[in-house]
Structure 1
Amino acid sequence: MAMTALIIDDEPLARQELEYLLEKAGDVEVLAQGSNGIEAVELIREHKPDVVFLDVQMPGLDGFAVLKKLIGKVARLPQVVFATAYDQYAVRAFEVNAVDYLLKPFDRARVEQTVEKARGRVAAEAAAAAQAPSDPNSAKLDALMKLLEEQAQQAAVPARASSKVVVRAQSRLLLVDQKHICFAAIDEGQISIVTQNVEGTSNCRTLEELMDQLNPEIFWRAHRSYVVNIHHIREVVPWFKSSYQLRMDDRQQTEIPVSRAQTKRLKELFNL
């Protein structure tokens, strides 16, 4: 039997992309889509899905406010998978609380992994409800409330990322100030870091791991394969089909694509 799902995101392209990837994952039936938190509450009450793919930042009610509205108001809470474009602190809170997340732009393998995790949790919840039908949601309520509390605490704590990043260049380990980094890129599992004067590699295995070291106020995941320092963007170049590229101020004036899911964030950053 297919696992039922809702997709709630204020970006139509993000919804389309996620629906496509869920279809590829198999055995997932998307019952409906919503574009804001108010719709999310109504759709969850109406459809009672197994899992909700819920954007964090939305007009009206954000993802956390949706949960607060639902707790105690529905007989059965769905599994919740959060989607986020750039909130690194929330991502860490989700991991600690064992509530899954998807980082935009979506990665097919990560979506498939999340679907399997959600499917396992749906099955485990059904088994637990059969053994203790009087309160099947107790553990989930506790976990979600803890998630909300820790997320709020994370938001109140200022970023304390180190100002230096280790870059390996010609057998040397250089300590590079973050403000000098133009961008980082991943290709075949290796992360390159580029400044105006230095090009080298990082010991990090993923861009998510590198992002944990960087200041989220100035570093932005413009594309699945690129993280850029917004202060080193020299030019925003309109591209085909309403897409954009970023021309950086490194020596090569590297052009970096902006993914469809990040176009909205680009426009917010520069008031396009």
Structure 2
Amino acid sequence: MTTLKCIAVDDEPLALKLVETFIEQTPFLELISSCDNAVEAMGVIREKQPDLVFLDINMPNLTGMELARLLQEQPGSLPKIVFTTAYNHYAIEGYRVNAVDYLLKPFSYEEFLRAANKVLQLAEETSNENPQASAEDDFIFLKVEYQWVKVNLKDILYIESLKDYVKVHLENSDKALMSLISLKALEEKLPSSKFMRMNRSFIVSLEKISAISKNSIFINKTEITVGEQYKETFKVIVEKWIK
């Protein structure tokens, strides 16, 4: 069975302890950390990359809803979120940040387990339906229309986000591949030594970069701007090239 790494976040000690207890008595959940504020949770999520976060909404300084929005803007993998709160008026807003479920306090173990099972089902469906290449592989598989297409990494120039799809531009090909996958999910499949996120909409093959300006890179005649949150990482790479 799939095991989901979890963290619990709540500023109320009793509520936090309850979620910890429920996690520990659920066989497919593994508690890897507990936090009593969202600021600490942000750091833990970045460091430990949990699969699932049980997240209280009403917390001082940074609310759970604000944390969820910030996570969506970050590069890398995004954990599933189950909100826990005493206020039911947050439900619609919760689903806007792609929360899997919404537990209204006080909730029972049965309700908790139902929410956890939703996340487990999503994880197992993803694992079963998506062929995964290992870190050593030089290819990935992408769902294109009704079939899985093998794409050699050396052929990829850059990848463009188009809402729920990505457009993969290939070398020596006039036709790009369209695949129903988010840019974030595809980023997780690609080796970070060969590919880099440039902004919210583009991932590029580092070896295909033909020129660099102050705030942009070029792949042949295509100019792609380096986003503010990616500039420091890109600067490190550039310094290795031009030394």
Calculate the TM-score normalised by the size of structure 2.
0.51
Q: In the alignment, does 2:67 pair up with 1:66?
A: yes
Q: In the alignment, does 2:90 pair up with 1:90?
A: yes
Report the CA distance shift for 1:138/1:103 in structure 2 as closer, same or farther (over 3 A).
farther
CA deviation after TM superposition for structure 1 residue 89, in Å: 2.0
- 1:117-176 residue CA offsets vs partner (Å, 9 max, x unmatched): 011122234444845497764588xxxxxxxxxxxxxxxxxxxxxxxxxxxxxxxxxxxx
The 8 Å contact of residues 10 and 55 in structure 2, kept in 1 or not, is answered as: yes
Instruction: Determine the structure 2 residue equivalent to 1:75.
Output: 76
- 1:52-111 residue CA offsets vs partner (Å, 9 max, x unmatched): 11111111211121123222323100001111112x221244468663111111211001
Q: In the alignment, does 2:19 pair up with 1:18?
A: yes
Instruction: Determine the structure 2 residue equivalent to 1:30.
Output: 31
Distance (whole Å) between structure 1 residues aligned to residue 74 and residue 92 of structure 2: 27
What amino acid is aligned across from residue 90 of structure 1 in structure 2? Y
Instruction: Determine the structure 2 residue equivalent to 1:215.
Output: none
The 8 Å contact of residues 76 and 137 in structure 1, kept in 2 or not, is answered as: no
What amino acid is aligned across from residue 90 of structure 2 in structure 1? A
Distance (whole Å) between structure 1 residues aligned to residue 104 and residue 5 of structure 2: 21
Report the CA distance shift for 1:95/1:72 in structure 2 as closer, same or farther (over 3 A).
closer
Instruction: Determine the structure 2 residue equivalent to 1:150.
Output: none
Report the CA distance shift for 1:39/1:7 in structure 2 as closer, same or farther (over 3 A).
same
SS in 2 for 1:13: helix
Distance (whole Å) between structure 2 residues aligned to residue 54 and residue 98 of structure 1: 10
Aligned-residue RMSD, C-alpha: 2.7
Alignment of 1:208-227 (within 5 A): none
SS in 1 for 2:103: strand
Report the CA distance shift for 1:113/1:24 in structure 2 as closer, same or farther (over 3 A).
same
The 8 Å contact of residues 18 and 106 in structure 1, kept in 2 or not, is answered as: no
Distance (whole Å) between structure 2 residues aligned to residue 83 and residue 50 of structure 1: 17
- 1:210-259 residue CA offsets vs partner (Å, 9 max, x unmatched): xxxxxxxxxxxxxxxxxxxxxxxxxxxxxxxxxxxxxxxxxxxxxxxxxx
Calculate the TM-score normalised by the size of structure 1.
0.46
Distance (whole Å) between structure 2 residues aligned to residue 74 and residue 124 of structure 1: 23
SS in 1 for 2:68: helix
Distance (whole Å) between structure 2 residues aligned to residue 89 and residue 48 of structure 1: 29
What amino acid is aligned across from residue 30 of structure 1 in structure 2? L
Q: In the alignment, does 2:28 pair up with 1:43?
A: no
- 1:174-215 residue CA offsets vs partner (Å, 9 max, x unmatched): xxxxxxxxxxxxxxxxxxxxxxxxxxxxxxxxxxxxxxxxxx
Report the CA distance shift for 1:128/1:100 in structure 2 as closer, same or farther (over 3 A).
farther
Q: In the alignment, does 2:54 pair up with 1:53?
A: yes
Q: Where in structure 2 are there 5+ consecutive unaligned residues?
A: 133-140, 144-158, 160-165, 167-180, 186-243
The 8 Å contact of residues 81 and 100 in structure 1, kept in 2 or not, is answered as: yes
SS in 2 for 1:73: coil
SS in 2 for 1:25: coil
- Larger relative contact order (C-alpha < 8 A, sep ≥ 6)? 1
Distance (whole Å) between structure 2 residues aligned to residue 98 and residue 62 of structure 1: 15
Report the CA distance shift for 1:6/1:132 in structure 2 as closer, same or farther (over 3 A).
farther
Distance (whole Å) between structure 1 residues aligned to residue 25 and residue 124 of structure 2: 21
Residues matched between the structures, number: 139
What amino acid is aligned across from residue 57 of structure 2 in structure 1? V
SS in 2 for 1:20: helix
What amino acid is aligned across from residue 29 of structure 2 in structure 1? V
Report the CA distance shift for 1:27/1:113 in structure 2 as closer, same or farther (over 3 A).
same
Report the CA distance shift for 1:114/1:44 in structure 2 as closer, same or farther (over 3 A).
same
CA deviation after TM superposition for structure 1 residue 25, in Å: 2.4
Report the CA distance shift for 1:67/1:25 in structure 2 as closer, same or farther (over 3 A).
same
